[in-house]
Amino acid sequence: MLKTKIQQLCEENDIKTAYQLQKAAELSPSMASRLFKDDVEMIALRTIESLCKTLNCEPKDLFDYKAE
CATH number for the domain including 25?
A: 1.10.260.40
> Which of 43, 41, 12 has its CA nearest to residue 27?
43
Residue by residue, what is the 3-state secondary structure of 10-39? HHHCCCCCHHHHHHHHCCCHHHHHHHHCCC
Residue 26 · residue 50 · CB < 8 Å: yes
pLDDT digits (tens, 9 = 90+) for 17-41: 999 999 999 999 999 999 999 999 9
Look at residue 68 and tell me whether its pLDDT is greater than 90.
no
- Output the pLDDT for position 56: 96
Domain extent, residue 29, equals 2-65
Q: How far is CA 12 from the centre of its chain?
A: 12
User: For the chain, what is the domain count?
Assistant: 1
pTM for the complete prediction? 0.90
Of the pLDDT bands very low, low, confident and very high (cuts 50, 70, 90), residue 8 is very high
Residue 11 — very low, low, confident or very high, per pLDDT cuts 50/70/90?
very high
